[in-house]
Structure 1
Amino acid sequence: MKSINNELSVHSGPILISGPCSAETEEQLITTSIQLAETKKADVLRAGIWKPRTKPGSFEGVGAEGLKWLAEAKKETGLKTAVEVANVKHVYSALKHNVDILWLGARTTVNPFAVQEIADALEGVDITVLLKNPVNPDIDLWEGGIERILKAGVKNVGAIHRGFSKYGESNFRNPPQWQIPIELKQRFPELTLICDPSHICGKRDTLLEISQEAIDLNFDGLMIESHITPDKAWSDAKQQITPFELKKLIEQIVIRESKLPKKGKDTELDNLRQKINILDSELIEILSQRMKTTDLIGEYKKQNRIKILQSNRWEEIVEKSVIEGQSKGLTKDFIVKFLSDIHLESITRQNNIMNSNKWLDKILVKR
């Protein structure tokens, strides 16, 4: 694999892939592409040709006819083109129309059989392939998809982070769970990583916030949906913006230095990092002491035949900690996530204690 930043970007700064969620008409697609080209911000024109919808009956794309429009838009503007493919037939149609970039959507990446079939169809083809993360937060599944495409001999492979599905209420359409793409980057240091704020947010008003966070986390680029008349879009209207609004959004993003000063040059930063190291060590020591106390509680529960999970006690801890944490500048979400991980580890440790020598406990009971 090689970094494909230079393959996609025609200007300095983050890669920008943009265009309508769906190609609706030839006029709509070409007009959008012309306006995008005029912004001088976009590198790649994206458009959904085949749209995998959650339920039948909604608009599912114009099909292969839209590839002709995409080719015309490329001829008109010089922008590279990108489409989503979900099966081998899509791959062959896209290649026939000289599409530059293929991406596998979240519903495809989640299926190793589908990814392998696409990988087989791409064997020996010189093209850029991007894989969106699977719908569920499974980094191994995402990594596996990337490896399947690489093993087919495709060298220009990248990833798109579009957030992960979550049951229940959320401020996001697909919560980002940033730790997952960060870990993927650690596994593939040369991987080009694109963020898709449109699908993370599901609405326009938080696109800038997520875009800025992605760039701050050293993502290589953004995929943001744009449309000449977003409110009239045939799919995902709420998350699309006009090319003019896109230009304004990109201009508001602050690009920070990716390289740190040489060691010793920035004393203030070195001092702050040293402080973080000390605090981290203290945190680990405190967590170690907490787990030792958890083990003692597990022994007590075992001896006195008390159930491991005490829901009322857990609720009390969370409620108290949230109030205390918020008073000290911590968010509720962070506190709950942090405590949940500690709670799960505590339960695991207590379960190991409670169920050790189980056969011996049965003998003692019979006596």
Structure 2
Amino acid sequence: MLAQPQYQKVAVQDLQVGMWICRMDVDTQDQPFETCALRYQHASQLPMACRHVYIDLQRSEAAKTSTQPPQRKFYLNLRNEMKRVMGDIRLGHALEKKRLRYLLEEIMQSVVHDSQNMVYLAMLHDHQDELVSKSLNVAILSLVFAKHIGLRQDQLFPLGQGALLHSMGLLQVPAQVLNKTAPLTEAEKELIREYPRRGYQYLLEQGGFDEQTLDIVLHHQERTNGEGYPDKLKGRQIGFLARMVAITSVYEALTRTRSYRHALTPTQALGQLYRWRFHDFDARLVEKFIHSLGVYPPGCLVELNDGALAVVHATHAEQRLNPQVRLLTRQDLEPLEVQHLIDLATDPQRSIKKTLDPTDPRLTPLLERIMAKHPGFPL
């Protein structure tokens, strides 16, 4: 099981580099959740009025001793828990609801404390089980979205649970169909179109699931123009939470390499969603989702004004053009041994020059060198 977080109140003057701050004694942003999270590096990260903070003891200690980021280990633990849940279903066993609830509570807690970093982790592309990763990442993206729009507390659990379970029906679709590179036959298309209903029926048989969770599983593939499946609902016939997961699941799918196409960059995926907003989705929700991830969403590859390459790690609500980035190379494009986090909002010497497409063949040799040193960064 995952370790429960442990917190400690610390005076600002006693903070040390690497400590994970999960709450301050002053409000810094107009956010519907009370908490925020950042890895302490220097005093300029904190408001001048701040006198004490609460730190996550486990993450702070792990930052001192581990070569692998503690957040990454936490994400892998979440994925392993979800793998066990899906493994039971694949084997025909009953859904272990206690494990599912514990997993969901861990995800919700993490999004509350560190939503930007959770989005960054969801964009890492070294996943082994595609359905497990898809389910976990859609849940993360949906809860981050919910945090941004200030979703009611009583809707958070159904949203997270529905997002986690939205792809359950795909477990009954043969792998050769899911991974097929050639065009699907009509029979195969029909098999795909029925997966939401199969997932819905499975949860009904398990019993104990609320109507909003069931509605997400059944209707997250509906489209506002009536061209979705399985029931061809239109507009507001589609439940609000299902409309949210429709957006987050498509974004996740667009940013993941599929058997029949390459992944889009986060920026390209948001652009595609924006183009589809009046045809397929709730346009207002699409715009809010894009706003939640920012101009440069986490996982976006960028070139800085000094020529160095970086990947966006987290965004700022008030300074969306100046996110926090993870530096990948020096100015001469030599890959760094240590990928430092740099906050462009507090570094007047650096700024983003342009976004880059990691599938550009001209970047392939350099990205291969970077990945050889640091496997698993989100490209």
Q: For CA contacts below 8 A with separation 6 or more, give which structure has more relative contact order.
A: 1
Please report the TM-score for the alignment, with normalisation by the length of structure 2: 0.29
Larger radius of gyration: 1
Please report the TM-score for the alignment, with normalisation by the length of structure 1: 0.30
Larger % of helix: which? 1
